[in-house]
Structure 1
């Protein structure tokens, strides 16, 4: 088997493993967001500033997640172009 073909298979495997793990992580974060939204609507004792802080945290997590995904996808693309 050609070395380039073996490396391509390794890259494809790592990319698939990353995508599966990332998708599971996204589902976990989405579930946590859903839970926090439910808690925020039911927590009448929590001040509005606290609710806004939690909403901002969720928004920042999503933004960071998308930035990270884009960066890793670009890196995989560069590696694939190299081979």
Structure 2
């Protein structure tokens, strides 16, 4: 079995714990697969879910949408 990669979610780079967790993920899991860009912690996901919409439709300008699109393109390009 192959793993396409790891997507760290709910990341908060403003805290020491968030930075330490991301560093641990990168050190431990980069051997298994690519570490994709982190998805920031944002209430926008909950807001979109409450409206029964994907974030890209609910708020297409949210920075997380751009990150998710980048990850999707990388995964689509996998052999």
Structure with more of its chain in helix, by fraction = 1
Structure with more of its chain in strand, by fraction = 2
Please say which structure displays the higher CA radius of gyration.
1
- Give the TM-score range, shorter chain: 0.3 to 0.5
Larger RCO (CA under 8 A, 6+ residues apart): 1
Q: TM-score, normalising length from structure 2? A: 0.34
Q: TM-score, normalising length from structure 1? A: 0.33
